[in-house]
Amino acid sequence: SGCGTFTFLSSAIAAISGLLMGYELGLISGALLQISSILALSCKEQEIIVSSLLFGALFASLTGGFLIDRFGRRLAIIIASSLLVLGSLILLPYESYEILIVGRIAIGISISLSSIATCVYIAEIAPQHRRGLLVSLNELMIVIGILCAYISNYAFASISHGWKYMFGLVIPLGALQAIAMYFLPPSPRFLVMKNNDEAARKVLERLRETSDATKELTVIKSSLKDEHQYSFLDLFRSRNNMRARMLVGLTLVFFVQTTGQPNILFYASTVLKSVGFQSNEAASLASTGVGVVKVVSTVPATVFVDQVGSKTFLCIGSSVMAVSLVTMGLVNRNIHVNFTNVCRSQSPEDFFLQRPGNFTITNGSFKDLFASMASTERSSFDAQKSPDVARTGQLNRTALAGGKSTTGSHMESGEVPIVLKWLSLASLLVYVAAFSIGLGPMSWLVLSEIFPGGIRGRAMALTSSMNWGINLLISLTFLTVTELIGLSWVCFIYTIMSLASLAFVTVFIPETKGCSLEQISMELAK
């Protein structure tokens, strides 16, 4: 029951979906800078372009589960990769606002469908003692994709029509993944669901590098014997404890969003400016630094999850997030940052979209648009909000953290003590790191484990749709709420949500390390 080379290779090829997803989430921040200038887009039009990906993702999460359960996980990934290539190809020949929206919706459908199918596919081909590592590969690839987007945005920022290169870079990789997935085996559990036991046995023998997989196949068959009879409505019934499992899954993704990771990075730009990143190069490096922290933090979570356990990482991540958010809130009360809604009409070149932050499933945010800087003591910037991540600046044409929004914001601040500057930056980076070892990768690992195989795709799709929906709601209200109650109180609210997340994980999330999917399902059915 070892994790052979072929199993790892199959998981890695499927996890390319994560790389593509992370890249697309971060890409628009740099691309929109040039697009808005070429097409003379208003604030609202920029918001719609960036939001269109989220609406596509929400649509796919509502409908993709049926495709995954009916036609298979592998086929869903192939369709998603092909759709990503098609959506990107649509964008390249034209410089049209309408075409951009159509292309971004197609890409949104693609990344949402692939994110669900990839987690399910990897969980079902992985041996039980390596499932955490292999499923978390997807989250690691997402944060690497976002880091690649940072670098791509910076590299093509000054090149004529650089946005076309940004969009075009994913086409070869998406096409290669679709082709490679065609030659990989279907999930053995899906084959058993379709009563193709002989093919499932051969796939298991190939994945486990053994000549006899009869024992594992027997366990899968006995577990799935009745599970494929589940209907979608069974997710909300008491049969086999399904309603409780569904509530656990939905609550978990609720905390992924409401602990603030997608939106708190709005403050990253303020923090990094206050620390003195004034030049293009310094600000871009600072932005990339946030991406590096995400990648570096996700690595140990991915490598050690099978030894430590996903529940332990969720507890550690939520605890550290709460501490760092309290620190951030207290520092903000001393810095006196004020935000006001000012999305004024400005020439497109006044907006410079910033770098994205990280999401899982994970994940959406807003973008703040730096408008101008009056002095070292007083600065104002426009913020833009939309479901991907992006930001802009007029003077330091670079990128910092992630977000999406077309609402403006205004910041005034006096001279900030050096200790507060570095404490604010440190607490932000610790917060980013804590999310990247806890709720970031672990929530999707847990979701891929707690549902029965026969309805796993639809259950994951439902939780994913809640993830995208809450993401959209929070992103669209973040600046308004911040204006009403202040950024420090926003941090304190996120602290409360992090502590609530810790309590919820402690009480309701089962520890699943070392257990097969069938064992987990049987335990939860009780």
Going along the chain from its start, the domains and CATH numbers come out as: 1-184 (1.20.1250.20), 231-344+416-525 (1.20.1250.20)
Distance of CA 505 to the CA centre of its chain: 20
Helices (H), 309-359: 310-335
Handedness of CA 220, 247, 436, 295 (dihedral sign): positive
The H-or-E segment that residue 521 falls in is helix 517-525
- As given in the structure block, the two tokens for residue 507 are 């009480």
Beta 378-384 vs 367-373: how paired, if at all? antiparallel
Q: Which residues of 209-235 are buried (b: 16+ CB within 10 A; e: fewer)?
A: eeeebeebbeebbebbeebbebeeebb
**C-alpha to C-alpha distance for 259 and 198, rounded to whole angstroms:** 46
| CA–CA distance, 256 with 153 (Å, rounded to integer) | 27
How far from each other are the two terminal CA atoms of the chain, in whole angstroms? Answer: 27
CB-CB contact of 230 with 243 (8 Å) = no
Rounded Cα–Cα distance for residues 268 and 402 (Å): 8
Query: What's the order of all strands across the beta sheet hosting 378-384?
Result: 367-373, 378-384, 409-412
By three-state DSSP, how is residue 187 classified? coil
The secondary structure element, H or E, covering residue 475 is helix 456-485
Instruction: Residue 44: count other Cβ atoms within 10 Å of its Cβ.
Output: 10
pLDDT score of 4 = 78
Please tell me the predicted confidence (pLDDT) of residue 236.
81
Angle between helices 97-125 and 439-449 (to 10 degrees): 60
d(CA 49, CA 68): 28
Compute the distance between CA of residue 487 and CA of residue 491 in angstroms, rounded to an integer: 6
Contact 199, 120 (CB under 8 A): no
Contact 116, 68 (CB under 8 A): yes
| Cβ atoms of 379 and 413 closer than 8 Å | yes
Scanning 225-279, the segments in alpha helix (DSSP H) are 242-258, 261-264, 266-275
| 3-state secondary structure (DSSP) of residue 154 | helix
Q: What angle do CA 20, 22, 25 make, to 5 degrees?
A: 105
Q: In this structure, what token pair is assigned to residue 42?
A: 């208003």
pLDDT tens-place values along the chain, 526 residues long: 456 789 999 999 999 999 999 998 878 767 777 787 788 877 677 767 877 888 898 889 888 888 888 888 999 999 999 999 999 999 888 788 899 999 999 999 999 999 889 988 998 888 888 888 888 888 889 989 988 887 887 788 778 888 889 899 999 999 999 999 999 999 998 898 888 888 988 888 888 887 777 888 888 887 776 555 677 777 787 777 888 889 999 999 999 989 987 666 544 554 555 455 454 445 455 666 777 888 899 888 888 888 888 899 999 999 999 999 999 888 878 765 544 433 333 333 333 333 333 333 333 333 333 223 233 223 332 333 333 333 333 323 333 333 333 333 344 445 556 777 778 778 888 998 999 999 988 988 888 888 887 778 788 888 988 888 887 777 667 766 777 887 788 889 999 999 999 999 999 988 888 787 777 877 877 7
Whether pTM exceeds 0.75: no
CA distance 110 to 98: 19
Q: How far apart are CA 201 and CA 214, in angstroms?
A: 7
Q: Are 43 and 343 in contact (CB under 8 A)?
A: yes
Separation of alpha carbons 422 and 228, rounded Å = 55
Place of tokens 């707690």: 450
Q: Which residue has the tokens 């009780």?
A: 526
CA 75 to CA 67: how far, in whole Å? 9
Asked whether the beta carbons of 101 and 55 are under 8 A apart, the reply is no
- Rounded CA gap, 381 and 354, in Å? 12
Phi, psi of 56 (to 5 degrees): -65, -40
Q: How many angstroms separate the CA atoms of 3 and 12, rounded?
A: 13
Q: Residue 307, Cβ neighbours under 10 Å: how many?
A: 12
What residues have CB less than 8 Å from 218, skipping those under 6 apart?
none
Give, for 473, the enclosing helix (H) or strand (E): helix 456-485
| Tokens found for residue 455 | 């309805």
Query: Which tokens hold the place of 225?
Result: 């014997």
The length of the chain, given as a count of residues: 526
